[in-house]
Amino acid sequence: MSFNQTEIQTQVNQILASFIQKATGWEGELDPEMSLINGGLIDSLSLVNVVVALQQNFSIEIGIPEITLENFDTLNAIYQMIENKLA
Amino acid sequence: MNFHSFEFAAFFILVYILYLHLGHRAQNRMLLVASYVFYSAWDWRFLGLILLSTITDYFCSHAIQNSDIARIRKAYLWLSIIVNLSILGFFKYFHFFVDNFIDFFALFGLQLHAPLWQIILPVGISFYTFQTISYTIDVYRKQVKPAPQFLDYALYVSFFPQLVAGPIERGQRLLPQILQPRTIRREQVTEGLFLIYWGLFKKIFIADNIGAYLQAIGDPAAPGVENGGLVLVYAYAFLFQIYCDFSAYSDIARGTAKLMGFELMINFRSPLFAPNFQEVWNRWHISLTTWIRDYLYYPLALTPIRGKNLEPRLIVIITFLIMGLWHGASWNFILWGLYCGVLLALYATWSAKTRRFMYQITGRKAQLLILLSMMLTFNAGAFGILLFRANSFEQLGSWVYHLFFNFSINLEMLELFFRVILHALPLLIFDALMYKKQDIQDLFYYPIILRYAFFYLTLYLMVVHGAQSSAFIYFQF
């Protein structure tokens, strides 16, 4: 299955918004540069769920070395990582 | 050779003088010899184990690097893990498993006998074994390139400041510092000296004085004492002691490394002020908790079993059980791990359900809530430390009984409580100041009068009121 840039961003936004809403009750607009991990919106437990959901949604494999702050702290970083994997 | 002994001071001064006069390559060789001498001061016979682990991982890491065949790479990874865990398992857990095996068969009337020989636990084995395992896994994951020279890798395994009680350093962080020439910056010297000084203060004034109180108490639920109030004071005292003792070691390790131009990771960030259990584990023994996260939690959480991923909260409990066992071959450590894992899983559930309401609380109410949460977390931690400390289930049962069903307070206990708090006060002030800071650098910009007052007061307390020296608690792990 192939995804264009807008589809990637929309689906990542949906996945993240759903997890964050469940975990924190946050219902506001997610800013692409908002800090998700350092900002306390995602912790290590929900991060694992996010990784699993992204893997299933985009049929990609995210290796453990890739679970880093650089790849997951902002939506922009997540978009970038997934785009690189799908490229 | 304890960090707070004159023997170590003489050793380090000699090493440091040599270090300053040598080139990069000679520095590394000299540090390797110094590290082996340092370890031999505990027991030279166990140097063979470090060498076995070093040779195995050096060989396996290069074999992994040099192969493109997945099956071969995995085989060498498992060879390294099996060798390291076998050494750890034999020296640390042999008697524990044999004794439990015998007890189990005794339930069915079968009388087996334990071997007569005793295995001595090599100091620091849990720390360097985890360090070497992480290195080989990182090479396998292509996060680290193997060290080209065997002797440089041997230094990574045995670097004396962190050899016997961590921090457990990753190859990504420590190896480049070994392989590249180092420069010692002025700030590193200042920070290094401060960390050594603060570590010595925490060990000599706080941990060892509180340790003396604990010794004086003995068993807080022994016949004739039997009071829950004393059990509570005992739990608080032991929590302060173990935190100061262990974080002191980490500070001195970081300090001595900094003096030589190395940067080791921060192992503690004011954990006693954490407002929940999750935050405690983000701040306590960070090098171990991040190790557990990266090499146990993530692999378990991200590997589907029959097409389904395990529930993260269950994995938290499993990993904490393993972490409990890492601390020692005894049921009380396993129970402590289970307690911490269950608390963390419960907190995750509770937090997911209530966080949305918590965000709506602001101002003074929010501050009060954080304060209450901090106190609750501290007390949960203090209760957990009783599991960590107990020598038997009978003793633990007796402590818990008196704590919950026979609680009273008398003047003697109150005095003891205030003595413990007075000793821990410098730590509490320091940690409160450091809670939101990344590291100690900001402290050097405080007004000069405050810095001098801090120095003279702590020096006075350490020199005049310091306790008799004892070994660091975490050496036994």
Look-up of token digits 């009783």:
B386
Instruction: Find chain A residues with C-beta within 8 A of B351's C-beta.
Output: 23
Can B327 be counted among the known catalytic residues?
Answer: yes
Place of tokens 């063979």: B48
Picking from B380, B419, B19, the residue whose alpha carbon sits closest to that of residue B182 is B19
Instruction: List chain A residues with CB under 8 Å of B320.
Output: none
Which pLDDT belongs to residue B356?
A: 67
pLDDT tens-digit map of A37-69:
877 778 777 788 889 889 889 988 888 888 888
pLDDT at position B474: 64
Report how far residue B173's alpha carbon sits from residue B363's, in angstroms, rounded to the nearest whole number: 41
Q: What is the pLDDT of residue B186?
A: 92
**Residue B411 dihedral angles phi and psi, to the nearest 5°:** -60, -40
Does the structure show a pLDDT above 70 at A35?
yes
Structure tokens at B423: 């000793």
DSSP string, B59-74: HHHHHHHT---HHHHH
Q: Cβ of B293 and A48 within 8 Å? A: no
How far is residue B94's CA from residue B97's CA, in Å, rounded to a whole number? 5
Ranges of chain B whose pLDDT falls below 50: none
CB contact under 8 A, A51 and B302: yes
Q: Which residues of B touch A (CB under 8 A)?
A: 141-143, 278, 293-294, 297-299, 301-302, 309, 312-313, 316, 348, 351-352, 355-357, 359
Kindly determine whether residue A48 and residue B312, on different chains, have CB atoms separated by under 8 Å: yes
What is residue B472's DSSP assignment? -
pLDDT at residue B475, rounded to an integer: 63
The domain spanning residue A11 has which CATH number? 1.10.1200.10
Interface of A with B (CB under 8 A): 22-26, 43-45, 48-49, 51-52, 62-65, 67
Which chain B residues are closer than 8 Å to A48 by Cβ? 297-298, 301-302, 309, 312
Cβ–Cβ below 8 Å for A64 and B293: no
Rama region for B149: left / alpha / beta (φ>0; ψ in -120 to 50; rest): beta
What pLDDT does A1 receive? 63
Q: Kindly indicate whether the ipTM for this predicted assembly is greater than 0.85, answering yes or no.
A: no
Residue B95: exposure state from Cβ atoms within 10 A (0-12, 13-18, ≥19): middle
For residue B302, the model assigns a pLDDT of: 83
Q: Nearest-CA distance from A78 to chain B in Å?
A: 17
Q: Among residues B4, B285, B327, B423, which one is catalytic?
A: B327
Q: What is the pLDDT of residue A61?
A: 86
Chain B residue numbers touching A20 (CB-CB < 8 A): none
C-beta separation of B280 from B381 below 8 A: yes
The predicted pLDDT at position A36 comes to 84
Q: B23: buried, middle or exposed (CB in 10 Å: 19+, 13-18, 0-12)?
A: exposed
Among all residues of chain A, which has the CA nearest to that of B299?
A: A64
> Min CA distance, B163 vs chain A (Å)?
25
Of A22, A24, A67, the CB nearest to B298: A67
Residue A24 pLDDT more than 80?
A: no
Q: Which of A25, A48, A63 sits opposite B356 (nearest CB)?
A: A25
Number of structural domains, chain A?
A: 1
| A79: closest CA of chain B, how far (Å) | 20
Mean pLDDT of chain B: 89
> d(Cα B79, Cα B477) in Å, to the nearest integer?
24
CB distance A65–B355 less than 8 Å?
Answer: no
What are the pLDDT digits (tens) for B203-256?
A: 999 999 999 888 888 877 777 677 888 889 999 999 999 999 999 999 999 999
% pLDDT > 90, chain B: 56
C-beta of residue B128 within 8 angstroms of C-beta of residue B28: no
Taking the CA of residue A5 and the nearest CA in chain B, the distance in Å comes to 26
